[in-house]
Structure 1
Amino acid sequence: MKKIVFSYMALPLMLVSVSAAAVTPLPSAPIKVLAAGSLTGAMTAVAQLYTQQTGQKIDAQFGPAGLLRERIESGEQADIFASANMEHPQALADQGIATPAVVMVRNRLCAKALPDYKLTTENLLDRLLDPQVGLGTSTPKADPGGDYAWQMFAKAEKVRPGAQAILEAKAQQLVGGKNNPPVPAGRNAMEYFFAEKKVQISLGYCSGRQTTPDPKFASVPLPAALAITPSYGLSVITREKKSHEAAYRFALFLLSPQAQKLMAQYGFTPVTVPAED
């Protein structure tokens, strides 16, 4: 027989959720979720599954987690915040407007290039340091993906002295911020910058918005010495004076093995796993 092992950090949220679910029917009002853009495919799939099973509608909106946090701090109503890091939801908790952040899933940082570029894990650092190679990243502070890229640059310094300054100087913050370079309407930003030969390599998450890899790009994991393992934080927003039982229920579902297995299909690493007796 199998048993389910949950992240210990999730226990307070689970206990509240279970007690609420036992006594209250699901409301008809949609649960509003503000979630990191990298969760678009996975969260949408989980929300659709939850609605099919319970009838509860989910209004999920996606964007750079740092900018979503600013929206919540500015007073925007939301029920759940799912960030690509732990810092943003925990900052809301520290302000008394959200539950303490728990780890929902984990991810990895990958490098992407066009297939004919022949990028590999082994030649990645050499390619990144090549003066002729354009490097695209997300925007630090506004988007955790940018923060993780800068963490990788710091690790590169330990592998090859002088690498951090070179990478920070050449990194082009192309997405995830308020003032990124313009992109034609209807075009994917990174695809556009690759097509314009503005970049030859981009740093981002290994997960995708689909369950299958994008054939337009080759995605390679970082070497062990440069590896970054982002933890995604989950919080229930408690500022609004209303019942949050439905929000707690959906938060609990996000931590369930069923939802975690579905998110794993999009490239995320589950934090709740089945274990053998």
Structure 2
Amino acid sequence: MNAKLKRIGLSTFLIGSLSIFAATTVQAADIKVMSDSPLEPALTKVVDLYRQHTHNQVSLVFDPSPVVKKRIEDGETADVVIVQPDFAEDLTKSGKVSAGDRPIIAHVGVGLGNRKDGPAHDISTVEKFRNTLLGADLLVFNSVKSGQAFANVLERLGIAETLKPKIVRTAPNGIFEPVLKGKGDDMVAGTIPLIATTPGIKLLGPLPGDLQSTLTYTAVLMANTSQRDTAEGFIQFLASPEAKKTFAANGAK
């Protein structure tokens, strides 16, 4: 092959390579997802799986549903929002998210935990659970939906007034600090995935029997997304059998 042909061949190769690179760049997309905090351990794993399948990049922002709602109402933008259905409904009414299908992607239960160096209490029955709570030195839970569900449990068990001096209510992201700083038999009630994955905290178990309640999460499309096709594809992936299996393996069924 003479020099001229070699140069033509090299040019063709470089043009072809650049075309492939450009096509790959066009196909890949970046989206931003704002999600309720209790889903963080499971959703992070699901997004890793999504990236492997699509090579799209996902920026995850986690906050409690009320905070996500306020941030969006204050003007923050995203492509997909994952919150509890009543917050999704409010955002739809305000025009911040698109109306239409809202697939339920996961359910998260409520559990009880204590410090890793604390006693391994058995809370597998309602009576054992009740006795464990009565023996607590401190009982911490949040001031939003899962915390209110737990407060209702204490009322049902007839021990709300007895435990009142030991109860600390906090913001959703503040429930673990009082327990981690404590010295006694201190306990935290909250969503199971967060209890199970917080360093220094161990999960004693889910609330037993019909005392259990779950938080439901739905995924919705932001009305002003510039990545509509990618965002819709991401929501479809969240509802896929593979994603649901990964959710379930990480505490969000």
TM-score category (smaller protein): 0.7 to 0.9
Residue type of the alignment partner of 2:68 = L
Deviations 1:87-122 (A, max 9, x none): 222211122221354321111100002354232223
- 1:248 paired to 2:232: yes
Which is helix-richer, 1 or 2? 2
Superposed, 1:234-273 pairs within 5 Å as 234-238=219-223, 240=224, 242=226, 244-269=228-253
Secondary structure, in 3 states, of the residue corresponding to 1:207? helix
Give 1 or 2 for the bigger CA radius of gyration: 2
The match for 2:141 is 137
Deviations 1:165-217 (A, max 9, x none): 4556643234426xx5xxxxxxxx7266334337711001122588x897851
Secondary structure, in 3 states, of the residue corresponding to 1:77? coil
Distance 1:259 1:150 in 2: 29
Superposed, 1:1-277 pairs within 5 Å as 28-83=28-83, 85-100=84-99, 101-114=102-115, 116-121=118-123, 122=125, 123-130=128-135, 133-140=137-144, 147-160=145-158, 163-166=159-162, 170-176=166-172, 190=176, 193-197=179-183, 200-208=186-194, 216-238=201-223, 240=224, 242=226, 244-269=228-253
The alpha-carbon deviation at position 259 of structure 1 amounts to 0.9
Q: 1:67 to 1:169 in 2, by over 3 A?
A: farther
TM-score (norm 1): 0.70
For structure 2, the residue ranges without an aligned partner over 5 or more in a row are 1-24
Distance 2:165 2:80 in 1: 36
Distance 1:31 1:226 in 2: 38
Residue type of the alignment partner of 1:65 = S
Q: 1:71 to 1:87 in 2, by over 3 A?
A: same
Secondary structure, in 3 states, of the residue corresponding to 2:193? coil
TM-score (norm 2): 0.76
* Mapped contact 1:139–1:174 kept (Cα < 8 A): yes
The match for 2:22 is none
Number of residue pairs the alignment of both structures matches: 223
* Mapped contact 2:146–2:191 kept (Cα < 8 A): no
The alpha-carbon deviation at position 227 of structure 1 amounts to 1.0
Q: 1:226 to 1:32 in 2, by over 3 A?
A: same
Q: 1:90 to 1:199 in 2, by over 3 A?
A: farther
Give aligned-pair identity as a percent: 22
Secondary structure, in 3 states, of the residue corresponding to 1:234? strand
Secondary structure, in 3 states, of the residue corresponding to 2:247? helix
Q: CA RMSD, aligned part only? A: 2.9
